[in-house]
Structure 1
Amino acid sequence: MSEILLQALTTRDIDWLAQIGKHQQVPVGVVLSSLQSGEIYIVLDGKVQLTTQGGQNSILGSAFAALESQPLDMELAELGEGELIGETLLFNHHSPPFKIISLEPVKLLCVSYQLLKQRLEEDWAFAARFYRAIALLLLNRMETLVQKLLLKKRLQIKPLQNVPLLLSQLRDSDVDWLAQQGQVQGFAPGDVLIKAGQRPDSLHILLQGKLGVSVSPERRSLSRAFAALEAKGVEETSLDSEFVRLEPGEMSGEMTIVDDRLATTTTRALEPVLVLTISRQQLLLKLQQDVGFAARFYRVVAMLLSARFQGLVDRLGYGRGNYQVGSSLATEVNYENELDLAELDQLTLGAARFEWMLKRLQLNKKGA
């Protein structure tokens, strides 16, 4: 099992997963689908390949692929021992914009979604460790994919459409604690909140305005060096590739809480913004002392990374297609902006909590 799972989970956690799981041997070339089986897989041996869906449900997507002489199914990453497959099932029931195919004979541990979901709801300590492990795995996938493909195509992930879902996962007392411990700060356009290569010391919750998240290409060429020399007096953003825009309700700097690593991206204000800043030390202490809060917080981070990862893959695969008003619905198609009743309830709850946070901080959408 990978170091991430071994380090994030306890021996009892791993023993429990082994006890409820069942082993399955998968031959080469099989497409794995956790949605159909109702199971989440842990790769015990062998490798699987993650590829885009290729826009099979999008005529425009197929056209763009043809214009760029690119196959519909683009290789994204190889997942090996210790990787989780089907973790999106824990956050939504929509088919992800990618598929997973076995590259060689693979041995899987198949864990029942229902049993895992029950354990996550009943055992907060286990939930905190498991969601943190998912967040770490997704972070590694994101960083690999951004450097491997995104910079070449210079694409941007669309803003999340379901930001209120994040706050719906927290309790009123959690939101109150964040508002009480945090400090409202304002930033002007171009101000840097988090700089790549440095260790963030705070978590930022965006209250108003928009933030841009960018990544710089690896310094591996003379052209990059000369570009940097010529950029004296020119804004640093000219050398960066922005791939995410954050909307009010989203977080920045969350990964410094999940893992003590240097930032790989730069976050800057795109317009006048207000953020709620909570120090890393305060938040880490809270996570240690309040296991229920830890479970909910790490779930939010895992949901956020999962949504961003799916958004990135969706862009690389030319999209699954949005439902347009007036169009007929295809029952076999999963539309990107489709919501079920449960999600609508969560959106309403999350939006109400965000509004309450703004009032608690004596802010409103028009300004401080």
Structure 2
Amino acid sequence: MKRVLFFLGQLNDRDVEWMLQNGNRMMLNSGDQVITKGEAIDSLYIVISGQLAVYVNSSHNKCIAQLESGDMVGEMSFLESRPPSASVIVTKPSTIFQISRDKINSRLLENAEFKANFYHALALFLSNRLRGTTDQLGFGNPEEDDLLETAVLDGVSQAGSRFVQIIHRFSEAA
């Protein structure tokens, strides 16, 4: 769940409320494909509960990552407007928060503060993911895994309550 906290910690309450009002809850079953390698996607996703697997080959026989509550999906394609380099498949029944690229892009054009917060949030999220990958490959410094800047730490503490708010909102809709 740590990763979504980097993202939500950089947004303000208005940003999160806007996302809640403009996103959708998706209930997915094992085997459902969220993202297909090479096919354009039109949304950004946050895993609320469940488990997804990331595969880079079309036979889906080698999982390169497991995604669980608090992970984001589709952020790289959102930033680059390029098709995904991996497929993402549900491995356990999952609930996912989905918000469309069109809605996010409209908000980015209308609200400069949201734009700054959103891109800063994605940068921190992706930086954290890259550090994790570097560590996984054996090139990182494990002693630094839990070190955070004070400014990021302040945002992360607020982000926990924001993520709980998202979970609660979508639990009510069930």
| TM-score normalised by structure 1 residue count | 0.44
Partner in structure 2 of residue 211 of structure 1: 52
| 1:361 is the counterpart of 2:170 | yes
Task: Show the counterpart of 1:303.
Answer: 124
Q: 2:94 aligns with which of 273, 290, 315?
A: 273
- Which protein has greater RCO, CA pairs closer than 8 Å, 6+ apart? 2
For 2:49 and 2:35, the matched residues in 1 are separated by: 17
- Which of 3, 9, 13 lines up with 1:172 in the alignment? 13
CA distance in 2, matches of 1:339, 1:279: 30
Gaps of 5+ in 1: 1-159, 217-227, 229-235, 322-333
Paired AA for residue 144 in structure 2 = Y
When the two chains are superposed, the root-mean-square deviation of aligned CA atoms in Å is: 2.3
1:179 and 1:361 in contact (8 A); partners too:
no
* C-alpha separation in 1, matches of 2:116 and 2:151: 21
Give runs of aligned pairs for residues 177-196 of structure 1, distance below 5 A.
177-196=18-37
Q: Which runs of 5+ in 2 are unaligned?
A: none
If you compute each CA radius of gyration, which structure gives the higher value, 1 or 2?
Answer: 1
Q: 1:199 aligns with which of 26, 29, 40?
A: 40
The equivalent residue for 2:156 is 347
3-state SS of the aligned residue for 1:196? coil
Residue-pair matches, total = 174
Structure 1 position 176, deviation (Å): 0.8
- Identity, % of aligned pairs? 32
Q: Which residue of 2 aligns with 1:100?
A: none
Task: Report if the CA contact (8 A) 2:2-2:70 is conserved.
Answer: no
Counterpart of 1:260?
81
Aligned partner of residue 141 in structure 2, secondary structure: coil
Query: Is 1:237 matched up with 2:60?
Result: yes
CA contact (8 A) 1:192 1:266 kept: yes
Give the aligned partner of residue 292 of structure 1: 113
Compare the two structures and name the one with the higher helix fraction.
2
TM-score, length of structure 2 as denominator length? 0.87
How far 1:361 sits from its partner (Å)? 2.9
| Map 1:7-18 → 2, pairs under 5 A | none
Q: Equivalents in 1 of 2:12, 2:30: separation in Å?
A: 32
